[in-house]
Amino acid sequence: MLWTARGTSSAVTAMSNDKIIWDKLIAAGFTPAGAAGLLGNLYAESGLNPQNLQNTYEAKLGFTDAGYTVAVDNGTYTNFAKDCAGYGLAQWTYSARKAALLAFARARGASIGDLDMQVSYLLMELRNLFPSVLDKLRTTSSVREVSDAVLLQFERPADRSAENCARRAAIAQEFYEKFAGGTSMNYIMTAAAFCAQALDIARNYKTSYMLGPWGWPANDKMITRATTNGSNAQTNKQWLSYANAIKGKGFLFDCVGLIKGILWGWCGDLTRTYGGAGYACNGVPDYDAKKMIDSCREVSTDFSGIVPGEAVWMDGHIGIYVGDGAVVEATPQWLGGVQCSTCLNASREQLLFTVGVRSWTKHGKLPWVDYSAEEKINEEDNDMTEEQVRKIVRDELAVIEAERAALPVAPWAEEAVATAMAKGITDGKRPQSYATRQEVEVMMVRGMQG
């Protein structure tokens, strides 16, 4: 993912491990409140240092954090499980849990102080030993409620006072504001990267439209979720056949979900709950299309100065302007799913590589996207000749045509194409390529003759 770092105003000390852990917890299905509640407790236990040895045992055992870790890893220290010293992100202390942690690390060929290993082990513990806590982490929207559950049922420190509960919940709330509050964003995506990913999804991924998803894998679990849970379930059933046609091979999006999914870190991973995206992370709230355009700056109905990466909006629908008169949008129209359309506000006729045309009401710059490079280009005069511009367009169209020519018949069209081939109307080659008027006319005549 192409991100550029920027500063944060969060009261939580900036460190690399907090974002890494947050993303892993969100990817594991935790709510933002759940991830924050657990993070706050882990921070209180270890400062999010996976090699942290309980301070009172450093002098007692004669080890620093790093020295203890190395000694356990190389086998020169053999009392790891039974020494009663808290260790790691969660300050594991009890002998059975420390022994299991050590076995888990060795089975993975990882250091006992490896961050990724410890987060994976932590998730395994929650699944196997603390299912009620895990359920709360995945369903609860209250940071305080989750933080208390982690402290009292999972960590169970010596100090379980109301004061300590409040202290840890306050830390957890800071993490919530940092990663899910929308006001202290740590990462911002460039407009170029934003457009590139939108185009990549439209051109290279199988997608289907459903209300609610932000890049969910089209598998039994997520298709069922989209068509049985929530206020959109009944509406989504009308697109069930399209979702089933890409089951195991594609992703579900709605219009604003395309924007949120990209900004939440979607990476096209079919094995992850949300395709690699988190939820309400990177400071981007869970907004609907209207709130999304209302959050934009420089909102205008004049499209003469629009730059790539801006949101384009009409009542009930939103898309991403990717430049040269084109928009990437998730829509049930045309082919259904994520696709390229022509923005008639910026182009007088339909672009060859698009599936349809729209006129939009207004456009604006998303607050989570960096437009500085595009604005600079827009401000400068373009000295290219008309022939140079035409060559760029021709080259781009050639690439698009080659990509489409290599695509197989879409599942919904297989029967019709087979019938047309059997009747000699078409040879069935390049089924998803664009047809010229003369090709269409020839096929029509063959069909009438047949």
Q: How far is CA 326 from the centre of its chain?
A: 23
The answer to whether residues 168 and 44 touch, using CB atoms and an 8 Å cutoff, is yes
Question: In whole angstroms, what is the distance from residue 280 CA to residue 178 CA?
Answer: 11
Rounded mean pLDDT of the chain?
A: 87
Residue 4 has pLDDT above 70, yes or no: no
- The residue type of 85 is A
- Nearest-CA neighbor of 151 among 98, 83, 91, 84? 91
Edge to edge, what strands does the sheet with 206-209 contain?
206-209, 250-253, 214-217
Q: Which two tokens stand for residue 26?
A: 């969100």
Can you tell me the mean pLDDT for 257-280?
88
Strand partners, 196: none
182-234 pLDDT tens trace: 333 345 789 998 999 999 999 999 999 999 999 999 999 999 999 998 889 99
Which whole number is the average pLDDT over 380-408?
67
Is pTM beyond 0.85? Reply is no
Q: What's the full length of the chain, in residues?
A: 450
Residues in contact with 148: Cβ distance below 8 Å, sequence separation at least 6, in sequence order:
165, 169
> Can you give the residue ranges of every domain in the chain?
10-180, 289-369, 386-449
Q: How many CB atoms lie within 10 A of CB 64?
A: 12
Average pLDDT over residues 37-46: 94
Nearest to 372 by CA among 112, 6, 1, 43: 6
Q: Does 405 score more than 50 pLDDT? A: yes
- CATH number among 1.10.10.10, 1.20.1250.20, 4.10.780.10, 1.10.530.10, domain 10-180: 1.10.530.10
434 or 368, which is more confident:
368
Residue 425 DSSP SS3? coil
Tracing tokens 């020169």 back to the chain, one arrives at 76
**Spatial separation of the C-alpha atoms in residues 39 and 341, rounded to whole Å:** 42
Find out whether 431 and 412 touch, Cβ atoms under 8 Å.
no
